[in-house]
């Protein structure tokens, strides 16, 4: 078999963060082909003896990791299998050991889909690396059986210590923190972090079935759960993540989920970050806050944020990136509470949550938000929406934006600006923003809206998506 033929015929493509597709298309041959192509990329840069492997809780993830391991063995490389753990925990242990890693995860997408994330010794692969992987030509053989994987458990302690080392063990004494565990890859870790910091932890809604939590489109059910849990358990905060633990969800003391970019903004202020890189979909409160010397806007996806971070590093000492989905990327080593925190330029869920909960020791989380400019965002998506439909709609919005918003039922408003950084982002003359973008991971069309009113932002998303279905 040859990698370029297997990959090109697989139906698997790279999205905003990793290769994603249907589980049925991630055959052992496809997983091996991607792994061989990744190894081919790595060997061009340096010698290679070991690669770290991790998985999420999806039913298909272990067998996919077995196929990746088979390719590594065939290449003369020893896989180190860390089992189920958050993606940033795998990236952290690999970075400390100066080895590459592969994470088998589909993040937030449904369990009938999965994916592969690739990391070099210094962090996530780039978009150029992705192209090279898809074009690699490496011959390989299918084994008679896939190898069993022996578990290494070193990563958990390293990940926990990264956060608990920042504070005294009584930091959260008297605080009640809910952990919405569902099927998150980090559910065996999170309660240990908050307990070590002195909090009373209430573990909530653990699931033996995979739950596709999307931190950018929190379901009404999860909103209701948070409100109920907050009242029932008298919680100071609720913490959760998506499936692979790289994107956080944090609810305040009222049970209201924070938007991911607001969480990132609060965290960056506490860490005294000088310059930030954020996707264009983030709340404009980031710019309006004047907390930073530079705000660099990027396309949506962690590889674009990481690329922008590398450029900021030459001009600023403390840099970070964050996304509307909550993923936080620390682009430089920083000193916090007289402790040095090493950079981790990949999405992380724990750092922003711990820092913001710590900042709310003497004020509530909702009070911290009052310091920010009053700009509100909302987002949702149309699922099972063909890519061809998304392309047609975006083209119409781009060519005839004024006509397009009328077809969406938005009357009495004019277009002030059209931004094509990623998708189509329309700024109206009242300052409201409508941003349409097809998902890079699934057949979905996402809509982001921003306004000076939370209710208006929500109404815009509902109105846009409700009408687009009939265009």
Fold identical between 3-152 and 157-369? yes
Convert the pLDDT of each residue in 115-144 to its tens digit.
Answer: 999 999 989 999 999 999 999 999 999 999
CATH number among 3.30.460.80, 3.40.120.10, 3.90.79.10, 3.40.50.1820, domain 3-152: 3.40.120.10
Average pLDDT, the chain: 95
Q: Which fold has domain 376-468?
A: TATA-Binding Protein (3.30.310)
Supply angle C-alpha 119, 10, 67, rounded to 5.
Answer: 55
Q: Is 107 part of the annotated catalytic residue set?
A: yes
Q: Which residues contact 467 (CB under 8 A, 6 or more apart)?
A: 407, 408, 409
- Tell me the three state secondary structure of residue 138: coil
Q: How far is CA 391 from CA 176, 304, 381, 398, 435, in A?
A: 46, 21, 15, 11, 14
DSSP per-residue letters across 330-380: E-S-EEETTEEE--EEEEESHHHHHHHHHHTSSS-HHHHHTTS-S-EEEEE
Q: How far apart are CA 84 and CA 359, in angstroms?
A: 30
Binned at pLDDT 50, 70 and 90, residue 442 comes out as confident
Instruction: Please state the domain extents for the chain.
Output: 3-152, 157-369, 376-468
**Residue 269, pLDDT score:** 97
**Residue 47, pLDDT score:** 87
90, 65 Cβ separation under 8 angstroms: no
**Residue 109, pLDDT score:** 84
Convert the pLDDT of each residue in 5-55 to its tens digit.
Answer: 999 999 999 987 799 999 999 999 999 999 999 999 999 988 899 999 999
Convert the pLDDT of each residue in 63-117 to its tens digit.
Answer: 999 999 999 999 999 999 999 999 999 999 999 999 999 999 998 888 899 999 9
Convert the pLDDT of each residue in 325-344 to its tens digit.
Answer: 999 999 999 999 999 999 99
Q: How far apart are CA 13 and CA 84, in angstroms?
A: 24
Q: How far apart are CA 19 and CA 356, in angstroms?
A: 32
Helix (H) or strand (E) holding 247: none
Name the CATH superfamily, with its identifier, for domain 157-369.
Alpha-D-Glucose-1,6-Bisphosphate, subunit A, domain 3 (3.40.120.10)
* pLDDT at residue 419 is higher than 80: yes
Average pLDDT, integer, range 298-319: 94
**Residue 441, pLDDT score:** 65
- Which of 17, 60, 61, 107 is catalytic? The answer is 107
Convert the pLDDT of each residue in 214-252 to its tens digit.
Answer: 898 899 999 999 999 999 999 999 999 999 999 999 999
């Amino acid at each position: 078999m040859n990698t370029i033929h297997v990959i090109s015929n697989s139906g698997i493509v790279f999205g905003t963060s990793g290769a994603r597709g249907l589980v049925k298309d991630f055959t052992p041959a496809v997983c091996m082909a991607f792994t061989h192509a990744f190894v081919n990329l790595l060997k061009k840069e340096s010698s290679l003896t070991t690669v770290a492997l991790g998985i999420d809780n999806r039913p298909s993830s272990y067998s996919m990791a077995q196929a990746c391991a088979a390719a590594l063995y065939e290449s003369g490389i020893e896989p180190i299998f860390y089992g189920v753990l958050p993606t940033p925990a795998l990236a952290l242990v690999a970075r400390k050991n100066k080895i590459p890693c592969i994470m088998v995860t589909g993040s937030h997408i449904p369990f009938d889909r999965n994916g592969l994330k690739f990391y070099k010794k210094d962090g996530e692969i780039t978009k150029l690396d992705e192209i090279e992987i898809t074009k690699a030509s490496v011959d390989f053989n299918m084994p008679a059986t896939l190898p069993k994987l022996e578990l290494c458990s070193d990563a958990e302690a390293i990940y926990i210590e990264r956060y608990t080392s920042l504070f005294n063990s009584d930091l959260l004494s008297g605080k009640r923190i809910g952990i919405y565990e569902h099927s998150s890859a980090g559910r065996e870790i999170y309660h240990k972090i908050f307990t070590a910091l002195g909090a009373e932890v209430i573990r909530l809604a653990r699931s033996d079935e995979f739950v596709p939590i999307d931190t950018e489109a929190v379901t009404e059910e999860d909103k209701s759960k948070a409100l109920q849990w907050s009242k029932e358990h008298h919680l100071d905060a609720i913490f959760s993540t998506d499936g692979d633990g790289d994107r956080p969800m944090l609810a305040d003391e009222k049970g209201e989920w924070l938007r991911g970019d607001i969480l990132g903004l609060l965290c960056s202020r506490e860490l005294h970050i000088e310059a930030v890189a954020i996707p264009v979909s983030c709340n404009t409160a980031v710019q309006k806050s004047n907390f930073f010397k530079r705000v660099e806007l990027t396309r949506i996806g962690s590889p674009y944020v990481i690329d922008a971070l590398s450029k900021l590093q030459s001009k600023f000492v403390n840099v970070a990136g964050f996304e509307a989905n909550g993923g936080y990327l620390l682009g430089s080593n920083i000193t916090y509470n007289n402790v040095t925190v090493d950079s981790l330029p990949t999405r992380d869920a724990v750092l922003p949550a711990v820092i913001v909960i710590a900042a709310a020791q003497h004020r509530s989380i909702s009070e911290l938000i009052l310091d920010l400019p009053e700009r509100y965002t909302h987002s949702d998506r149309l699922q099972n929406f063909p890519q061809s439909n998304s392309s047609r709609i975006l083209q119409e919005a781009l060519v005839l934006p004024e006509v397009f918003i009328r077809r969406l039922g938005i009357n009495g408003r004019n277009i002030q600006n059209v931004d094509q950084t990623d998708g189509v982002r329309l700024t109206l003359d009242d300052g409201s923003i409508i941003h349409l973008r097809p998902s890079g991971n699934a057949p979905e069309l996402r809509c982001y809206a921003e306004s000076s009113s939370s209710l208006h932002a929500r109404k815009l998303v509902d109105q846009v998506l409700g009408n687009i279905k009939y265009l």
